[in-house]
Amino acid sequence: MHPIRKKRLTIILFLLAGLTVAVALTTYALRQNINLFYDPSQISAGEAPSDVRIRAGGMVKEGSVVRDPDSLKVEFLVTDYSASVPVEYVGILPDLFAEGQGIVAMGRLNNEGRFVADQVLAKHDENYMPPEVSDALEKASKNQSKAAADSIKPAT
Amino acid sequence: MWQIFHKLGSPKWFFGISTRFMPWLLVGGVLLLLAGAIWGLAFAPKDYLQGNSYRIIFIHVPAAFLAQSIYIMMASAAIVTLVWRMKLADMFVKAVAPVGLVLTFLALFTGAVWGKPTWGTWWIWDARLTSMLILLFLYGGVIALDRAITDDKSAARAVAVLVLVGVVNIPIIKYSVEWWNTLHQPATFKLTEKPSMPAEMWVPLLLSVLGLYLVFGWLACIRMQTEILSREQRTRWVKELVMKGKS
């Protein structure tokens, strides 16, 4: 390669490397702001500010959804399977909202550690499958958990 | 080896060879796109959670994939422009930037349409969506900068620098869903693992991506040919070509 071209290429590579480091440091420093939501562990560890509008995200805990019979009020627990945060919301939930589904809620954390949401968005995962497959999977896991429950019972 | 590389940079040589390739690119691309779309929209099974609304994936993913892929190609061409001062590389950047812009817009638009029924919102400022919006602005910036400078040579260099600076955004788009908490789900397709989707869904998706690549190849060729003809209009080979076309 011609020496001038070699020099140009070196300069470009150096510039790109420098730029990458600069952007990496900036995004690292801003990671709190880039994160869309706090997960339940962060909230229960006190990392999330209270009385400021924030987002909380995680899975809707199975069996935790309580609907008020007279209004649109819903209460449920959001969990990341190591910590849970109680959430209350008044309004219409997205179609994909269900127990065991991921959600992102926007709202405020009150002084009692309850999250008062004014918007709930559904988050879906990267898995796609036909309905028959998911039914089969569900059946299989139910059988398995039943078998597991049966095997635990004699011990207790 | 360098001789072949420099021959590649000759507009006349490229014009000849691309004319031969182009019909194949167009026919193959359209066929693959049609096959992917019909299979994906009509025959692929519906999703257990999202039902039929997930089918927009057969447009959303190819558009988003190409949008990023085209930018990486532009960045490679920008290095060639800056180091070897090859005209053809600069013509490539100019020719494909609008295509990238349109595909990025399409990805954002189909994403919004998909987001409303599944997430419950058209738009959210999460890392994936925001970095994709920055890509749209980068494409727009490249086109605007190129139009703003009338001298071809200085435009080529300025555009190449801008394209290279913007390439940092590509890994950010790719890994945004892993580095930060986002509403957008992580990637379904990974290089090292099998896709988290059955074959009757990912095969039509793959066909659409390949088809879009071929159609993009055709678009790139025809746009580059136009650029070559307008820039090289004073050379003998172009004059001869035009005379031949007239008679």
Residues 6+ apart with CB under 8 A from A78: A40, A56, A57, A58, A59, A60, A61, A84, A85, A87, A103, A105, A115
Whether residues B126 and A96 touch (CB distance < 8 A) is answered with no
Whether B37 maps to a domain, the answer reads no
What average pLDDT does the structure give for chain A? 84
B127-148 and B152-166 are packed helices; what angle lies between their axes, rounded to 10 degrees?
170
Task: Kindly state whether residue B40 falls inside one of the protein's structural domains.
Answer: no
Q: How does pLDDT run along chain B (247 residues), one tens digit per residue?
A: 677 777 777 888 889 889 999 999 999 999 999 999 999 999 988 888 888 889 999 999 999 999 999 999 999 999 999 998 888 999 999 999 999 999 999 999 999 999 988 888 899 998 999 999 999 999 999 999 999 999 988 999 999 999 999 999 999 999 998 888 888 988 888 777 788 888 889 999 999 999 999 999 999 999 999 999 988 888 888 888 888 876 6
Structural domain contains residue B66: yes
Comparison of pLDDT for B222 and A45, the residue scoring more = B222
- Indicate yes or no: CB of B196 within 8 angstroms of CB of A5: no
- Number of domains present in the structure of chain B: 1
- Among the partner residues B46, B48, B79, nearest to A12 by beta-carbon distance: B79
Task: Enumerate the β-bridge partners of residue A121.
Answer: A104
Within a domain: B164: yes
Tokens matching residue B243: 């005379």
| Res A155: pLDDT | 45
Q: Is residue B14 part of a domain?
A: no
Distance (Å, rounded) from C-alpha B214 to C-alpha B22? Answer: 9
Contact at CB, A135 and B48, closer than 8 angstroms: yes
Determine contact: B190 vs chain A, CB below 8 A: no
Name every chain A residue with its beta carbon within 8 A of the beta carbon of B117. Answer: 95
**Residue B155 lies in domain:** 59-240
ipTM field: 0.78
| Beta bridge partner(s), residue A78 | A60, A85
Provide the pLDDT for residue A153.
52
Q: Is B138 at the interface with chain A, CB within 8 A?
A: no
> Does residue B29 form part of some domain?
no
What's this model's pTM, rounded to 2 decimal places? 0.87
Question: DSSP of B143-198, one letter per residue?
Answer: HHHHHH--SHHHHHHHHHHHHHHHTTHHHHHHHHHHHS--SSPPPS--SSS--SS-
Contacts of B180 in chain A (CB under 8 A): 31, 34-36
Query: Considering the domain boundaries, does residue B31 fall inside one?
Result: no
- Tell me what pLDDT residue A33 has: 76
Query: Do the domain assignments include residue B96?
Result: yes
Query: Are the Cβ atoms of B127 and A131 closer than 8 angstroms?
Result: no
Contacts by B102-105 with C-beta closer than 8 Å and gap 24+?
B103/B63, B103/B64, B103/B66, B103/B67, B103/B70, B104/B63, B104/B64, B104/B67, B104/B132, B104/B135, B104/B136, B104/B139, B105/B136
pLDDT at site B168: 94
| Interface contact flag, B186 A125, Cβ < 8 Å | yes
Strand partners, A120: A105
Question: A62, A99 in Cβ contact below 8 A?
Answer: yes
Please check the confidence at residue A156 and state whether its pLDDT lies above 50: no
**Cβ <8 Å between B188 and A127:** yes
Please indicate if any CB of chain A lies within 8 Å of the CB of B199: no
Q: Is B5 on the interface with A (CB under 8 A)?
A: no
- The pLDDT tens digits for A75-127 are 999 998 888 899 999 988 888 888 888 899 888 888 888 899 988 998 888 88
What's phi and psi for A57, nearest 5 deg? Answer: -140, 150
Q: How confident is the model at residue A151 (pLDDT cuts 50, 70, 90)?
A: low
Distance CA B62, CA A76 (A): 37
